[in-house]
Structures are given as C-alpha cells and as structure tokens.
C-alpha cells in the first residue's frame, strides 16, 4: 500500500497500535476487514490533511474527538468538512477520532496523546466524568483550547460550548408530545444512550419538568445505556414494552430509532407520536416515511462554525474570553425537511 506517511501517524489517526498498522500495510495474515477499513480511512484522512496543508495561508490543525454512534459522527464529519472552506485563507485541518463507545480512561488517554503530539485545538463530545475533565485541564495548562460539542462539560476548563440548549430541546419535546396526546394521556418511552452525557441528562430534565408541570396524566419510563446502538437499544425497548402496556409514545434522546420502532412492531403496539433528535440519514428516512413525527434539529454547521471561531479567537488572543453561542432548535416534520446534510 503506497503512501507517504509514517506508521505511527497512521496508527494515531486510526486509533490502532503501530504493530497492527504494520500488519495491514504489509499484507500479513490475521487482520480483520474492519481493521483494514480503519487503516484505509486513516490514510485517506491524512491525505486530505496534507492537501489542506499545501493550500497556503495560516493553518490551524484541530482534533475532533467524539464518543457517539457512527450515524451521528458521519453527520458531524460532513458539517466540519463543509464549514472548513468558509474560513479560507485561514485554513483549518481536522483530524477525526470517532468511537461508538469508549471507556473514560481510554478517552482521557486519547486526549493526552493528542496534547503530547500537538494540536491547535480540540473539539470534544464526551461524557461528563472526572477522568475526561482532568484531561481537559491538562490540555488547558498546555495552552490547547478545548471546545465541547453538543454535550457540555461545564465544570471543566473547556473554553466554549458549541451546540443547542439541551434543556430547551427537552422542554420542546414535552410540549409536542403533551399536546399530541392531549387528554387521552399515556406513557412516554424516553431513550437515553448513556447517563454519563450531560447533554442527554439536560434534555431529560427539561422533558420531565414540562410533563410534570403541564401534562400530569402522561407518565414517563426511561431506558438507558443502549449507547445509541440498534441492537442494545432494541433489546431495552422490547423489555420496557413487555413490562408496561401503557407505553404509547417515544422521546428518543439517545438514538437507535429503527430498533425502537421494530420493538413496537414486534409487540403489535402502535406509536401515537415519536419525537427524535438530529437529521442524520436514519432519521431523514424515517421522517420521510412517516414512521416518526418530529425531529428536533440544530444545524451542525453552525456548531462547527462556533467551534472554529472559539479556537481561532484563542489562537489570536490566548487570554480572551470566548462568548457563548447556542445554535437554535428547529422542529422538523415530513413537510419542512431541509435539503442536503
């Protein structure tokens, strides 16, 4: 496999060991197809970065680190790559580090590796846990600004948050479901990918607050720790439906929506109203087919722009305070779905 990159650079980009990358590059046996694909993707990413580095102007190389399902990381990658072009001639180069599930210690280790390797900034979607906050603090001491994306770490030394008001998003979901169910009432299945993410916790708090205050005839039951994967989330949803015949609505905070719908179908149960988050490819298809009713969407390109500006601001004036910039929440139906990604 011809390429101009060092094995250690490919390994860092792919999140693999140098020994594993060496086996792939030299065509040795015992390599899984998924590992081969990760190495190929890492080389392609390094080629993009190299192209950007030769385009002239000032270059700010940043690392985007996310623990999230692939359907959302794909949408984020598109948003950041699309928004990069608007900042020429001040060129941003983005290195992406995505995993569907990571242990806090692994996330902290990755952040430390990025810090030691060098970067102009980190954009981070991660759980609000002590290990991650400590790694953010180490980055800050090293002069590396960290911007949280979609879910915040408010008690850390991050310089800015780029995303929507998650509590308001949850309140909006409660209003939509409450008005739709009306006096008939029922029970809402709230799906959370993991209780470790502050953004998801804030959505649920906002949702429960409005339901409790304005729609007391509607009950709430929660499933958590499906990590947005279809298999785990579907299993949790099926168990919740088997245990509670009153569930007739869904507020999907954590994803896995195809699997949740499949669980309702397998149980022979209708869904009166389904509210989801984010216009990823899955939700676009489900919305267009009328299988979910509403998507609470915020523009990821706006978030990318906010993150770029925060990092640029710190590069120009290290002591400068970065103002908060929240992206707006849009209620999307099958009839007002925006085009594009």
Instruction: Report pLDDT digits (tens) over 238-289.
Output: 999 999 999 999 999 989 999 999 999 999 999 999 999 999 889 999 999 9
Report, as an integer, the average pLDDT of 29-48: 81
Show the tokens assigned to 265.
């179908």
119 φ, ψ (degrees, to nearest 5): -160, 155
Q: Is the pLDDT assigned to residue 308 strictly greater than 50?
A: yes
Q: How confident is the model at residue 54 (pLDDT cuts 50, 70, 90)?
A: very low
Nearest-angstrom CA–CA distance, 38 and 16: 9
Write down the pTM of the prediction: 0.81
Instruction: Look at residue 35 in the predicted model and tell me its pLDDT.
Output: 84
Q: Is the pLDDT assigned to residue 85 strictly greater than 90?
A: no
Q: Which range is least confidently modeled, 153-157, 208-212, 227-231, 238-242?
A: 227-231
Show the tokens assigned to 37.
């694909």
Instruction: Look at residue 50 in the predicted model and tell me its pLDDT.
Output: 62
List the one residue out of 337, 218, 226 whose CA is nearest residue 281: 337
35 φ, ψ (degrees, to nearest 5): -65, -40
Separation in Å, CA 128 to CA 38, 67, 125, 185, 199: 27, 12, 9, 34, 9
Instruction: Look at residue 2 in the predicted model and tell me its pLDDT.
Output: 56
Q: Are 233 and 223 in contact (CB under 8 A)?
A: yes
Report, as an integer, the average pLDDT of 200-222: 97
Q: Is the pLDDT assigned to residue 56 strictly greater than 60?
A: no
Q: Is the pLDDT assigned to residue 317 strictly greater than 80?
A: no
**How many C-beta atoms lie closer than 10 Å to residue 141's C-beta?**
10
Report, as an integer, the average pLDDT of 38-56: 69
Q: Is the pLDDT assigned to residue 323 strictly greater than 70?
A: no
247 φ, ψ (degrees, to nearest 5): -65, 120
**How many C-beta atoms lie closer than 10 Å to residue 167's C-beta?**
17
Q: Is the pLDDT assigned to residue 214 strictly greater than 80?
A: yes
Q: Is the pLDDT assigned to residue 325 strictly greater than 90?
A: no
Instruction: Look at residue 81 in the predicted model and tell me its pLDDT.
Output: 87
Computed from CA positions of residues 264, 268, 269, 272, in that sequence, does the dihedral angle turn out positive or negative?
A: positive
Is the pLDDT higher at 4 or at 276? 276
Q: What integer best gives the mean pLDDT of the chain?
A: 89
187 φ, ψ (degrees, to nearest 5): -140, 140
């Amino acid at each position: 496999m011809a390429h101009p990159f060092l094995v250690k650079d490919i390994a860092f980009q792919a999140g693999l060991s140098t020994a594993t990358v060496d086996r792939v590059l030299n065509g040795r046996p015992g390599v899984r197809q998924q590992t081969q694909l990760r190495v190929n993707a890492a080389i392609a990413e390094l080629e993009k970065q190299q192209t950007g580095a030769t385009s002239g102007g000032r270059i700010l190389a940043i690392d985007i680190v996310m623990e999230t399902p692939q359907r959302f990381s794909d949408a984020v990658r598109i948003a950041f790559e699309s928004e990069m072009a608007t900042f020429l001639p001040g060129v941003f180069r983005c290195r992406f580090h995505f995993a569907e599930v990571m242990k806090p210690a692994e996330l902290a280790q990755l952040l430390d590796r990025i810090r030691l390797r060098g970067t102009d900034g980190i954009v981070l979607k991660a759980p609000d846990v002590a290990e991650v906050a400590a790694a953010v603090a180490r980055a800050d001491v090293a002069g590396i600004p960290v911007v949280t994306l979609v879910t915040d770490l408010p008690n850390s030394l991050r310089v800015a948050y780029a995303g929507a008001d998650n509590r308001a998003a949850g309140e909006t979901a409660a209003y939509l479901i409450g008005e739709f169910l009306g006096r008939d009432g029922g029970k809402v299945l709230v799906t959370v990918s993991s209780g470790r993410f502050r953004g998801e916790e804030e959505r649920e708090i906002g949702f429960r607050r409005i339901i409790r205050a304005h729609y007391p005839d509607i009950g709430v039951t929660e499933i958590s720790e499906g990590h947005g994967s279809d298999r785990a989330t579907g299993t949790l949803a099926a168990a919740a439906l088997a245990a509670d015949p009153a569930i007739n609505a869904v507020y999907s905070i954590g994803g896995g929506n195809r699997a949740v719908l499949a669980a309702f179908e397998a149980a022979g149960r209708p869904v009166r109203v389904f509210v989801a988050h984010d216009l990823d490819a899955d939700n676009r298809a489900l919305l267009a087919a009328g299988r979910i009713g509403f998507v609470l969407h915020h523009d990821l390109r706006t978030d990318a722009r906010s993150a770029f500006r925060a990092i640029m601001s710190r590069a120009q004036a290290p002591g400068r305070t970065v103002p908060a910039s929240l992206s707006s929440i849009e209620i999307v139906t099958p009839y007002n779905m925006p085009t594009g990604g």
